[in-house]
A and B are shown apart, each in its own frame.
Chain A
Amino acid sequence: MEPVISTRGLTKDYGSVVALADLTLDIGPGITGLVGANGAGKSTLIKILLGLVMPTSGSSQVLGLDVATESAEIRGRVGYLPEHDCLPPDVSASDFVVHLGMMSGLPRVAARERAAEVLRHVGLAEERYRPMGGYSTGMKQRAKLAQALAHDPRLVLLDEPTNGLDPAARDDMLGLVQRVGDDFGISVLVTSHLLGELERVSDHVVILDSGRLLRSSETREFLNATGTLLVEVLGQDAQARMGQALAAAGVPVHPRGGLLALDPDPDSPHDVHDLIRDTALDLGVGLVRIQADHRRIEDVFADG
């Protein structure tokens, strides 16, 4: 499939810092998480893609349009949610989204309809008629998302949409991001410095480290099962007794926190799940759970 975003040797040298170093990247449709620590170059990449910052060298394309020569067309088809505050406090979300829809080229009547529609989708109901200065952080982020969607873009660039949100609001926002990508059919590039939250919503994860591409692959490749099983047991000295019994049965086992991590021989003819069940029954310990150990995106950093 044709990439939504592609960069070739993209470099941005601010003199004192190199924000992006020779970045070559293809991002396809769907939801892509852009992960990196603060200062890894995420915001710089977004600003270059919008044509707001000139790269020192290299080229990039968005939606098949060249950033260097067609940035006005790109900005007409892309929505942007900036990282920092951008809402005037004395304007209602409704008026604000109508105005910004018009600034993206919608005629007034269409902008009104679209504003009502996207505000409903992001979950701002009656409060959309109130000045935004009185909004909670979660509502502000929703209003920011609404303005990014006002003109029905083909792609939205969301810079840290969960920034400053409490856990519940963060979950809501991630759910919204997922809906934008999956239900609205708009491609999403969403950044975060928290790796864990993007593995839930994105199809694809790109990891930047100091302006360099650390890794780019599908989310499920990061998360594929490692073959290790995690077992939790309950009872008097249960964990130690269970561990000894399993080791005696020939399964390599070591404790990991409150769990036992088993690395069964994948070629073994016996099902290790049966062995765990039978051992627990023999010892009289309570078997709480058996689960496959998935990798986490964080492990990519541990791997180096």
Chain B
Amino acid sequence: MADPVPSGGGRGPVSGAIYDLGYRPYDGPRNGLGAIAWALFVEGFRNAFGLGRSGRSKVLPFLLLGINLLPVVIIVGVLVFIHLDELPLGYAAYASRTQVLLSIFVAAQAPVLFSRDLRHGTIALYLARPLPSTAYAVARWASLLAATLVFLLTPILALYLGAVLGELDFGEQTAAALKAALLAVLLATGLTGISGLIASVSVRRGFAVVATIAVLLLGNGVVTAVQGISEEQSRPRIGEVAGLFSPYSLYRGAMGALTDERVLTPPTGGGLQAAYFGVMVALALVSLGALLVRYRRLAGR
């Protein structure tokens, strides 16, 4: 610390010449909790795509984003050149078809937002700052939710633009795209909560990734098998109830109730259809609540 120039006079007005490199106190404005939480949200959102981090960490999210958009490009191309009168793949069905990509994305990026601070001890620096632990958790959750929504909504928007440019019926397309967007929000909140919770209890990134993919895809696999068998055996009620137990089958069920897409054992009857939406909302709220409890505990340690 060989500072060649003598330091200034501390907190008072710095006396001395222009070359005096002494410490200058900060007298400017300071933000409140809302602005701090917003800054944390924006930084987390950028980090989820590897922005503001090393070059290597940008590869996976953008690769997945690119692959996820590839079918859209093909569909829109076909639509424009062959002049189809409807989209070969519906807006809402798109997320269902690309669920493996989506699962890898949330499984890989949730640890960026939730495990990293725990693993490297950075959480202590956040907790020693004005934001309460619960606000920290909500900001992190919101960052992951926003990143997941970018992943889910970009193809819908691209398909919609393609459909409008391809001169399909405007009102019909708008209604279908909006329904798909609503379903995407419901799906994203659930995925965010589940993957965030797993990442926040697992300090090791690899474990969080594997566990999240297992919960999302294996859970869906089991439910899909049950639904397939129950339809085969003409006892669809079993499959309809089984669909309540995995985020992707919930999404398919809700899609079946809301749109004309054909899915396995769509929920029939107003009660069960409402249950699908209710469970999706409850899943989002419960997982967010569990995250808050988790961070409150961390803060009080």
A101-137 CB contacts (< 8 Å) to partner B? 102-108, 110, 114, 117, 120-123, 131
Docked Cα-Cα span, A99 to B52, in Å, equals 10
Cβ of A183 and Cβ of B8 under 8 Å apart?
Answer: yes
What are 11 pairs between A and B in contact, CB < 8 Å?
A53-B301, A72-B132, A73-B130, A76-B30, A86-B125, A91-B52, A103-B39, A104-B130, A107-B35, A117-B24, A185-B25
What is the 8 Å Cβ interface bit string for chain B, positions 1-20, against chain A (1 contact, 0 not)?
A: 10000011011100000000
| A295 interface hit (Cβ, 8 Å) | no
Query: Which residues in B have their C-beta under 8 angstroms from that of A117?
Result: 23-24
A123 and B120 alpha carbons, distance in the complex (Å): 23
CB contacts (< 8 Å) of B7 on chain A: these are: 179, 183
CA distance A107 to B28 in the complex (A): 9
Partner of B53, one of A54, A91, A176, A182: A91
Q: Report whether A131 and B43 are in contact in the complex, using a CB–CB cutoff of 8 Å.
A: no
Interface assignment of B22: CB less than 8 Å from any CB of chain A: yes
The reply to whether A103 and B36 form a contact with Cβ atoms under 8 Å apart is yes
CB distance from A118 to the nearest CB of B (A): 9
B53 x A90 contact (CB < 8 A): yes
CB-defined interface of A158-177 with B at 8 Å, one 1/0 digit per residue? Answer: 00000000000000100110
Q: Is the CB of A105 within 8 A of B130?
A: yes
Contacts known (A53-B300, A99-B43, A176-B1); A121 close to B23, Cβ less than 8 A = yes
Q: Which residues of A contact B215 (CB under 8 A)?
A: none
- Chain A proximity of B109: nearest CB distance (Å): 14
- Size of the chain A interface, CB-CB below 8 angstroms: 49
Asked if A82 and B35 make an inter-chain contact with CB atoms under 8 angstroms apart, the answer reads no
Minimum C-beta distance from B59 to chain A (A): 13
Pairs of residues from A and B, 7 with the lowest C-beta to C-beta distance, nearest first = A185-B10, A185-B11, A152-B26, A80-B128, A183-B7, A86-B121, A105-B30
Interface SS of chain B:
loop
| Residue numbers in A under 8 Å from B124 (CB-CB) | 80, 82, 84, 86
* Interface residue tally for chain B (C-beta within 8 Å): 44
Which residue of chain A has its CB nearest to the CB of B54? Answer: A90
**CA of A79 to CA of B149 in the docked complex: distance in angstroms?**
36
Docked pose: A185 CA to B129 CA in angstroms: 21
Nearest chain A CB to B16 CB, angstrom units:
12
Contact between A86 and B122, CB atoms less than 8 A apart: yes
Given contacts A88-B122, A103-B39, A175-B1, contact A52 B26 (CB under 8 A): no
Contact in complex: B26, A106 (CB < 8 Å)? yes
How far apart sit A107 and B121, CA to CA, in the bound complex (Å)? 25
For B37, the closest partner residue in chain A by CB is A103
Q: Is the CB of B1 within 8 A of A107?
A: no
| Cβ B23 vs Cβ A103 within 8 A | no
A75 touching B1 in the complex, CB below 8 Å, given contacts A106-B30, A183-B7: no
Question: Does A299 reach chain B (CB closer than 8 Å)?
Answer: no
Beyond A86-B122, A87-B121, A103-B40, 6 extra complex contacts between A and B, CB < 8 Å:
A75-B129, A102-B36, A104-B30, A106-B28, A121-B23, A185-B10
Proximity string of chain B (106-126) to chain A, C-beta cutoff 8 Å, 1 when within and 0 when not: 000000000011001110111
